[in-house]
Amino acid sequence: MLRAAAWVAALLLVPACKNDPTVGPAKGDFSLLDPSNGAIGVPTTPTFDWEDSFSVETPTYTIQVALDQGFSNLVINQSGLTTTSFTPGTALTGGTQYWWQVLAVRSTGTVVSTGAPWQFTTFSATPGPFTLTAPANLSTNVSTSPTFSWSSSAGAASYTLQVTLPTDTTFTSPVVNQTGLTTTSFALASPLNTSTAYIWQVIAVSTTNVTASNAPLSFTTAAAASTNSVTLTSPLNMATGVSLTPTFTWTFAGTTPSSYVLQISTSSTFNSFVLNQGSISTTSFTVSPTAPLASSPTNPYFWRVESLDSSNTVLATSPVFSFTTN
């Protein structure tokens, strides 16, 4: 019995054989490092770097670089690499888009770099043509913090975004001059002025700089949002069975008004009034029993409230509510 127990213990101490089909090898996930995904202005003889693929077996690596994402048009297919970097002996073509991936090769199977393939564009002394896309030309009501976007310029090392006033047609004194951009979009952190016309352009920067072919484009920012608002509270919109002498209530946000005007009409366009009561100093008004509303079981009334400043200028007008009386 003791001999049998010792034999079992000895078996448990023996490491699992790597060729045992019941013992799965470590997957060995790893990632690409450089050139980064979407990189522009990459040298035509770049050094490709990636992480180690850890597993029970030291792998060799195969790097593949192609002109298409499906890797049917390979320009590099170098296998047997024992380090995690590779510099091609023959230069790639400048101003060209490439995809790349790395395979960790071992007897137990091949592991493709996690997240591959990655895409990059090589540097060109003269970047390729490109166009501006948004904000569209002559667009209006544009956010004061817009996101500018444009198509890619093959071979660009970076982009410069410039925004200026329409009188500054040469962009001598731009209000935005953002350099060193490596993507084809940019959101402004500091807002532009409201209700203002601007022009914008993008320059692809390299040994020779190229301006977007459809630049400059123009746009106008949106007006400032109103800081004043009237909110109706009673009667509720589309209320039924309302008293013939109802109390109308509302709230106001913003600059304190001098007075309110309550308007009631049988027309949603308010081309005539059942009541047009001004000089209200509070946020409520009750219809007098001596001048009650008429019964309206089928034809609704419409009501709204305006807020006025001391010069009787309208600060805000509420949405229109409807109701029917008993």
Determine the pLDDT at residue 227.
Answer: 81
Mean pLDDT, to the nearest integer, of 181-191? 96
What is the residue whose two structure tokens read 């409230």? 305
Backbone angles phi, psi at 91, to 5 degrees: -65, 145
Is 49 within the bounds of a domain?
yes
- Do 240 and 192 lie in one domain? The reply is no
The CATH number linked to 191 is: 2.60.40
User: What single-letter DSSP state applies at residue 210?
Assistant: E
- Do 157 and 116 lie in one domain? The reply is no
Closest by CA to 325, choosing from 239, 237, 209, is: 239
- Do 164 and 238 lie in one domain? The reply is no
Please determine, for residue 6, whether its predicted confidence score (pLDDT) is greater than 50.
Answer: no
E-state strands within 5-117: 32-34, 39-42, 48-50, 60-66, 74-81, 85-86, 97-106, 109-112
- Do 213 and 233 lie in one domain? The reply is no
Is 156 within the bounds of a domain?
yes
As a whole number of angstroms, the distance between CA 168 and CA 177 comes to 13
- Do 177 and 262 lie in one domain? The reply is no
Determine the pLDDT at residue 21.
Answer: 37
Task: Report pLDDT digits (tens) over 251-270.
Answer: 999 888 999 999 999 999 99
How many Å separate Cα 43 from the centre of its chain?
Answer: 30
Task: Report pLDDT digits (tens) over 72-91.
Answer: 999 999 999 999 999 999 99
Secondary structure of residue 12 in the 3-state scheme:
helix
Per the DSSP assignment, residues forming a β-bridge with 48 are 86
- What is the domain count for the chain? 3
Is 127 within the bounds of a domain?
no
Task: Report pLDDT digits (tens) over 15-35.
Answer: 333 334 333 444 689 999 999
Range of the domain at 180: 132-221
Is 1 within the bounds of a domain?
no
The CATH number linked to 105 is: 2.60.40.10
| Rounded alpha-carbon distances, angstroms, from residue 204 to 5, 146, 162, 184, 195 | 76, 20, 12, 10, 29
Put simply, whether the predicted model's pTM sits higher than 0.75 gets the answer no
